Amino acid sequence: MQKRVTNSRKGYNIYGRQNYYLIFGSVMDRIWSFIKRVWSFFRRVWRSYIPYFQSLFDMLKYQAVSSGCLAALLWIINWLTDLLIRSTGRVAVTSGDFKFLFTTWQGILLILFALVSLSLYMSFDISSKILYASDLIQQQESSMINNLLKGLKYSIKFFTPSGILVIIYLALVAPIVGMGMSLSLTKGLYIPTFITSVIKTTPLYNAIYIIATVAFIIIGVIYIFVLHGVIIDGLSVRRSMKQSRLLLRGHYKNFFKQNVAYFVFALLFNITVVIVCFIFPFAAVVVNIPDEMVQRYSLILFTLLTVEMTFLGNAYDTPFYIIKLTQLYYSYKNRESAIVPIRERKKHPVAVTLGVISLILLILVSMVINTQFDDLFPLETDVQVIAHRAGGNEAPENTVKGIEIAATAGVYGAEIDIQRTKDGHYIVNHDTTFERTTGSKRKPGDLTLEEIKDLRVAGEPVATFEDMLDASKGKLILFVELKGNSADRKMVDDAVKLIKERGMIDECVLISLQYDLIDYAEKTYPEIQTAFLTFITFGKTAYLNCDFIGLEEECATYATMSNIHMEGKKVLVWTPNEEQAQKHFLLSQADAIITDNIYQANDIIKELSERSDVARFFDALIVGSDLSRNRA
């Protein structure tokens, strides 16, 4: 046995010291081995995505041509839709006139036309890109025109019951659940806030919504290769659906793994873009150049550069995902790994030239923005606040106390809902019954005014229309919604009479979800201001016969509001209650917002008036833009 050797002065074990070095070396070897494996993994991942970046220029050409075709198609769709709508004497079909779609030949023709249009749109938007991805994987020459024409040819296959369901899913369901491919035309589609608010506050509806969403996501995954089967292999829609089920059943683990890897890479790439295009260069300017004007100009320039890169990334997300899905489709069909080949490097002088021109334009635009900063990004907002249901959440709903609180808060106006009683009087109540507010399950039309006077809303009496007029006179503008089954022309006549008796023509606005009532009021009593509320419209919304057009949050885009203003009308947005939504519309083209949270809106208005230049710029660019409203 070997003797233990020790140093008598220091008393440590020589062999123990050697063991320490061996252990340290072993740990370092393992760490280095782990680093090499991680580096190798990321290198393989990066190389697998090189073909995607090599396809950028080809995709740019595809996007340019297909976008031109889609723009022309959209113009034709709008023109024909407008022609059909005008043939009925209307200027638009709105959420208040949807019976028209199912009760007239023009309406049924519009539905059929919409399905055909969506099918054609799909052929340019998705089908041609699947064909390009197929050519890329099979290393074949890709003809853009041929692929666009083939896409049109295959669109005919979707005029079957199964095909129509696929079109509806891509156009309407996929954007809402945010799963799989969807049409760019409807990419920003989502359920209106006033509907989701009811769903979230009702446990049964919320449970049904969650179950339905999960079910639609599962359906989207199971049938994600339906388009590939039809377009690449020429299968019928029904056979392609069966094939997609079988492919996912046999490869669901790999499909999940590949999708997670793809989206993680996309996320990391976007983070890298923000770091490289904005954080690093702007931080360098702030550190080295203390001049405030230079810093503000740099902020504008680097932010616009980041936004442009992000916009391009969003434009390419669907084409690149289609390439990934097509690769998986070939892999699962052939039961072997299908790859997107790395091609020889090519020079793209056109792309370089466009990039240089784009950079020069960004610099020039940044200079203009910097010199006109105060005019472009005003410190204060001129958007007014209207309390929803009298006082919003700050008081019992639709009561005189609500009007008093709204007036004290200094808001522009208050919105109320009037309904007719059994004996011909008008009281203020939102729902078809009094159950939610007073506990009584009876309807206003089944009770007399005397019977209703015994009811209480959180301790407050149910108000009459006359009570609300008297409470609001000289304090704020009263927006009177014609509500319930009793909303008819008689209600219009009676409401106008009561308003005139009190000399409040300039202090009241009649509003309704029923366009025929607003049109009647506008034609019969032009001196009375009117507002039509809508959450879906087709046609020339700005041409509707009224003074205000109330848009549900999702409809209130910059383009829609600008068109309404061009026709000399004002825009109301209902009902942004969340802080982010309120801030968005307070920075928008809206004239007023109808909200339940009036104190919160007032606080935001105060905060907006105290913003820094950086906050003003970011608010206008990000918070105030339509991009912030997308919920895809």
Domain boundary pick from 327, 345, 374: 374
My answer on whether omega of the bond before 433 falls inside 30° of 0, hence cis, is no
CA distance 548 to 127: 42
With a cut of 90, say whether residue 46 has pLDDT above it. no
Give the pair of three-digit tokens for residue 425: 């009087």
Provide the total of helices (H) and of strands (E) in the chain, helices listed first: 26, 13
Amino acid symbol at 543: Y
Query: Residue 451 falls within a domain, yes or no?
Result: yes
Question: Angle 465-472/489-501 helices, nearest 10 degrees?
Answer: 40
Average pLDDT over residues 10-36: 66
With a cut of 60, say whether residue 16 has pLDDT above it. no
CA distance 150 to 320: 20
Q: Tens of pLDDT along 521-569?
A: 999 999 999 999 988 777 788 999 999 999 988 888 888 999 999 999 9
Domain boundary pick from 334, 354, 374: 374
Within 104-225, residue ranges assigned H as helices are 105-122, 128-137, 144-155, 161-168, 174-177, 193-201, 203-222
Query: Residue 248 falls within a domain, yes or no?
Result: yes
Which of 55-69, 86-100, 143-157, 387-401 shows the highest mean pLDDT? 387-401
Of 112-121, 289-298, 367-376, 619-628, which range is least confident? 619-628
Domain of 17, in residue numbers? 1-54
Query: Residue 618 falls within a domain, yes or no?
Result: no
Spatial contact of 396 and 460, defined as CB atoms under 8 Å apart: yes
The neighbour count for residue 483, using CB atoms within 10 Å, is: 24
Q: What is the pLDDT of residue 21?
A: 62
Q: What is the pLDDT of residue 11?
A: 45
| Co-location of 329 and 430 in the same domain | no
| Co-location of 332 and 352 in the same domain | yes
CA distance 47 to 33: 21
| Co-location of 287 and 414 in the same domain | no
Choose between 311 and 617: higher pLDDT.
617
Query: Residue 533 falls within a domain, yes or no?
Result: yes
Q: Tens of pLDDT along 279-300?
A: 888 888 888 888 888 888 888 8
Q: What is the pLDDT of residue 20?
A: 63
Spatial contact of 154 and 126, defined as CB atoms under 8 Å apart: no
CA distance readout (Å), 625 to 111, 285, 506, 559: 31, 27, 33, 11
Give the pair of three-digit tokens for residue 468: 């609300």
Query: Residue 246 falls within a domain, yes or no?
Result: yes
Backbone phi and psi for residue 398, each to the nearest 5 degrees, phi listed first: 55, 45
| Co-location of 159 and 207 in the same domain | yes
Choose between 383 and 189: higher pLDDT.
383
Q: Tens of pLDDT along 132-155?
A: 888 888 888 877 788 888 888 888
Which pTM value belongs to this model? 0.78
CA distance 440 to 299: 58
Query: Residue 620 falls within a domain, yes or no?
Result: no
**Which of the four pLDDT bands, split at 50, 70 and 90, describes residue 2?**
very low
With a cut of 90, say whether residue 631 has pLDDT above it. no
CA distance 181 to 175: 8
In sequence order, which residues have a C-beta less than 8 Å from that of residue 625 and are 6 or more positions away?
558
Query: Residue 362 falls within a domain, yes or no?
Result: yes
Q: What is the pLDDT of residue 406?
A: 97
Spatial contact of 194 and 206, defined as CB atoms under 8 Å apart: no
| Co-location of 28 and 79 in the same domain | no
CA distance 532 to 574: 12
Q: Tens of pLDDT along 335-382?
A: 666 777 776 666 667 767 878 898 899 899 999 988 898 888 888 899
Spatial contact of 164 and 158, defined as CB atoms under 8 Å apart: yes
Q: In this prediction, what percent of the chain has a pLDDT beyond 90?
A: 43
With a cut of 80, say whether residue 589 has pLDDT above it. yes
Q: What is the pLDDT of residue 343?
A: 66
Any idea what DSSP says for residue 589? S
Q: Tens of pLDDT along 183-212?
A: 777 776 777 776 777 788 788 888 999 999
Q: What is the pLDDT of residue 521?
A: 97
β-partners of residue 596 are: none
What is the DSSP code string of 310-372? HHHHHHHHHHHHHHHHHHHHHHHHHTS----PPPPP---HHHHHHHHHHHHHHHHHHHHHHHT
**Which of the four pLDDT bands, split at 50, 70 and 90, describes residue 616?**
confident
The upper half-sphere exposure of residue 1, i.e. CA atoms within 13 Å in the direction of its Cβ, equals 2
CA distance 566 to 225: 45
CATH number for the domain that contains residue 409: 3.20.20.190
| Co-location of 41 and 73 in the same domain | no
Backbone phi and psi for residue 590, each to the nearest 5 degrees, phi listed first: -65, 155
Of 153-157, 308-312, 585-589, which range is least confident? 308-312
| Co-location of 27 and 66 in the same domain | no
Amino acid symbol at 479: F
Query: Residue 624 falls within a domain, yes or no?
Result: no
Choose between 99 and 10: higher pLDDT.
99
| Co-location of 165 and 119 in the same domain | yes
| Co-location of 176 and 260 in the same domain | yes
| Co-location of 63 and 47 in the same domain | no
Which of 116-130, 311-325, 389-403 shows the highest mean pLDDT? 389-403
**Which of the four pLDDT bands, split at 50, 70 and 90, describes residue 627?**
very low
CA distance readout (Å), 49 to 14, 45, 159: 53, 7, 36
For the chain, the distance separating the N- and C-terminal CA atoms, rounded to the nearest angstrom, is 74
CA distance 632 to 628: 11
**Which of the four pLDDT bands, split at 50, 70 and 90, describes residue 513?**
very high
Of 116-130, 146-160, 330-344, 427-441, which range is least confident? 330-344
Q: Tens of pLDDT along 481-496?
A: 999 889 999 999 999 9
Q: What is the pLDDT of residue 57?
A: 74
Give the pair of three-digit tokens for residue 364: 């020039």
Of 11-15, 188-192, 596-600, which range is least confident? 11-15
Average pLDDT over residues 445-467: 96
Nearest to 394 by CA among 385, 383, 403, 382: 403
Q: In this prediction, what percent of the chain has a pLDDT beyond 70?
A: 91
| Co-location of 580 and 500 in the same domain | yes
| Co-location of 98 and 118 in the same domain | yes
Number of domains into which the chain is organized: 3
CA distance 138 to 340: 8
As a whole number, the mean pLDDT across the chain is: 85
With a cut of 50, say whether residue 7 has pLDDT above it. no
CA distance 46 to 488: 65
Q: Tens of pLDDT along 231-283?
A: 999 999 999 999 999 999 999 999 999 899 888 888 888 888 889 888 888 88
With a cut of 90, say whether residue 384 has pLDDT above it. yes
Q: What is the pLDDT of residue 599?
A: 97
Average pLDDT over residues 80-102: 78
Q: What is the pLDDT of residue 3?
A: 46
